[in-house]
Structures are given as C-alpha cells and as structure tokens.
C-alpha cells in the first residue's frame, strides 16, 4: 500500500482515483454524494442509481471499484445489489450504508460480500477516507476494512 497522505481534508492512500458508484432509494442523497465525490480528485463518481434493478445495471455497465449501497430498499435492497455485484464484478468492493447500526443487517450484508458497513450519519471526511482505503487496499494484509477478496 502507498504511504498515506493528507489531501482534500481526508487521509488518502495516494493511489489512482477510486471509481465510486452509489445505489440508494433516496435520489437527493445519491445526487449529493455524486456531487461530493465529483469534487474530489482522489475519487471518481461513475454513477448513481435509485432502484435495485438500476443499481445492478449500473454496476454491470460501469464496474466501479467501490460500490456504496443502501441496505434497505424496495425490491430486495442492498442484499440483492451486493449479491449480484459480487457475482458479476467480484473485484468491486461493496460498502453498505444504513440509517441504523443493525447487527442483523451488518451480518446479512457481510454474507453477500460487503467489505464494510457504515451508518449514514458518518462524517463525510470519514466516508471519503473509507472509500479511498477500500478502493486501494482491500485485500491488503494491513487494510483496516474486513475485506473479502485477496488482491
């Protein structure tokens, strides 16, 4: 892993920009996260979706490095998106988001391949740092995330 550097108000790993996609049934949140990520040179927003079906199609088309997915959505929720993502693009690192820190949801998402779980009230600096770490060091023996795939 590259040396960690401070950039844009959060610690980055210094690697190439992380390609990030967001799937959440809250369109204003998807739009806001897209704008936030688009302003960061170390992150590259590759798309957002607001339904399970659109999320699966987005992943197939854009193959993000990191997928930020809402746990609870109609039509199978984050579990369906994560399971399909893990099957289609196994190198995509899945980070689950939820309004609450529900241990059952956390376990369910881990079972379908999510490498991390965050509560939506997470500080944006922490969120961007977590995405950066996930995109650059998932599978690295010193990664701070419970990653599911070797490098």
Higher per-residue pLDDT: 151 or 51 = 51
pLDDT > 70: percent of the chain? 81
Return mean pLDDT, the chain.
Answer: 83
Indicate yes or no: pTM above 0.85: no
The span from the CA of 97 to the CA of 109, in Å, is: 10
User: Looking at the DSSP assignment, which residues form a beta bridge with residue 95?
Assistant: 68, 116
Q: The domain 15-134: what is its CATH number?
A: 3.40.50.2300
Nearest to 96 by CA among 119, 132, 69: 69
Three-class SS state of 146: coil
The span from the CA of 136 to the CA of 113, in Å, is: 17
């Amino acid at each position: 892993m590259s040396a960690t550097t401070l950039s844009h108000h959060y610690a980055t790993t210094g690697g190439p920009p992380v390609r990030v996609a967001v799937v959440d049934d809250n369109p204003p949140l998807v739009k806001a996260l897209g704008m936030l990520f688009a302003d960061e040179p170390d992150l590259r927003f590759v798309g957002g979706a607001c339904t399970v079906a659109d999320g699966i199609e987005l992943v197939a088309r854009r193959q993000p490095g990191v997928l930020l997915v809402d746990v609870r959505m109609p039509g199978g929720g984050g579990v369906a998106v994560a399971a399909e993502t893990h099957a289609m693009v196994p190198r995509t690192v899945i980070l689950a988001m939820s309004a609450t820190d529900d241990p059952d949801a956390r376990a369910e998402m881990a079972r379908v391949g999510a490498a991390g779980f965050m509560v939506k009230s997470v500080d944006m600096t922490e969120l961007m740092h977590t995405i950066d770490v996930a995109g650059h060091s998932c599978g690295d023996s010193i990664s701070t995330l419970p990653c599911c795939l070797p490098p």
